[in-house]
Structure 1
């Protein structure tokens, strides 16, 4: 299951996505407009924010009432108290990477993410993560496969910080059609076989992150071609140490 070379390109120019839009159809139309087409084995990497927007995961900050803990963390980190309250609402526990943040939170979905994966939506709102990123990935994969006729995989990616360093990277939070974990093995001197587990969908997301739109570039979808992977619909949730907690 080795990959010796790959290619990647962004789907652009990509239109502004609004709540209720058909994201899969928009991806297909954008690729057609740039003279591209999906092929068997392609991996379509989609930024989580546009998935959240299409699924209407918006919160009006005017409807959020910060509690004492949120106000205290807001004073320490400089974040708006309403955003901090959303971080607390979306997570089961948290800690500060430094005395002044960022806030690293254990999301109810099982991920450990900076600010619980919450994105600002201007001064008055915020976008929450998709309710079930693996399910979102499956729906998008099915729609893209139907429209293109190609057997593709989908990875939903989110930019995220690290508690031990400055800056952001890109990780996977949802996947369909691709096994999130890759197991490799090699024989060491003496004949002992060593097994190694790699989070393949994180590697895929990070590779796509090199060309995905950041800070207003406006390219939230990338296609990666040439990567060898095992088809699977288990999703990213299957490899998490903390199982998702379904809320009523």
Structure 2
């Protein structure tokens, strides 16, 4: 397949029902598609917000059962973030730093990703959602189930909203992928005859494109379909391109 994209279409799956713990996410996605009278096509990329994957995989933590240690209490006082959440961040990561005077806390998750707050999402005042245990495995399972239900050969990207240490605001990145190579590699010859190789994180570009319409900030549309994206098929996943392996 060509890796050059000239144009693509993106649309959200909505209205999308509220996902609860243990739900069959792939089944819900196909039901919403049927309600929209939309059929998936070969080559479609389905981008799914990580939070609904975490909810379906029951990655909930009750904060009442979290006891902050001295390091969490100190970091909580510095940043204003609840001490129980900080304890979870420290428990889910191997190292961290505070990007500004009062945050955000940028942490390297045990699975290799560097994320704001180790990718932890609040679940109201009393709980939190952790990332999926293995986002690439989650993407493969979702891709296989959706392909089986729809009959279309698709790719899946699991996306997470994340801040940057050098600026305010959040963007959207990929933390899991199946059926799509995470890197787009191009080579061209320089005027001096040398060959220059360039690598782009294609799954991040796909996640960011979907982020324009995903509802991770309250819109209520946690799944989007991108159609017309050129990519190479691969199941190596996002973990394959990390500098720090899990």
User: TM-score band (shorter)?
Assistant: over 0.9
SS at match of 1:136: helix
Structure 1 equivalent of residue 21 of structure 2: 19
Structure 2 equivalent of residue 68 of structure 1: 70
Structure 1 equivalent of residue 58 of structure 2: 56
Q: CA RMSD in A?
A: 0.6
Structure 2 equivalent of residue 86 of structure 1: 88
Encode CA deviations 1:100-148: one digit per residue, 9 max, x unaligned. Answer: 1000000001000000000000000000000000000000000000001
Structure 1 runs, 4 residues or longer, greater than 6 Å off:
none
Unaligned runs of 5+ in 2: none
Instruction: Answer whether contact 2:49 2:216 (CA < 8 A) is retained.
Output: no
Supply the distance in 2 between the matched residues of 1:107 and 1:119 (Cα, whole angstroms).
14
Supply the distance in 1 between the matched residues of 2:244 and 2:39 (Cα, whole angstroms).
37
Deviation of 1:215 (Å)? 2.2
Structure 2 equivalent of residue 131 of structure 1: 133
Supply the distance in 2 between the matched residues of 1:188 and 1:106 (Cα, whole angstroms).
37
Supply the distance in 2 between the matched residues of 1:40 and 1:26 (Cα, whole angstroms).
19
Deviation of 1:188 (Å)? 1.3
Deviation of 1:190 (Å)? 2.0
Query: For structure 1, which segment, 30-39 or 204-213, has the greater mean C-alpha deviation from structure 2 after superposition?
Result: 30-39
Structure 1 equivalent of residue 181 of structure 2: 179
SS at match of 1:135: helix
Supply the distance in 2 between the matched residues of 1:167 and 1:32 (Cα, whole angstroms).
35
Structure 1 equivalent of residue 244 of structure 2: 242
SS at match of 1:167: strand
Encode CA deviations 1:53-100: one digit per residue, 9 max, x unaligned. Answer: 000000000000000110111111111100000000000000000121
Alignment coverage as a number of residue pairs: 244
Unaligned runs of 5+ in 1: none
Q: TM-score, normalised by structure 2?
A: 0.98
Supply the distance in 1 between the matched residues of 2:203 and 2:84 (Cα, whole angstroms).
32
Deviation of 1:34 (Å)? 1.1
2:105 to 103, 106, 125: 103
Supply the distance in 2 between the matched residues of 1:186 and 1:145 (Cα, whole angstroms).
35
Instruction: Answer whether contact 2:161 2:216 (CA < 8 A) is retained.
Output: no
Q: TM-score, normalised by structure 1?
A: 0.97
Deviation of 1:222 (Å)? 0.3
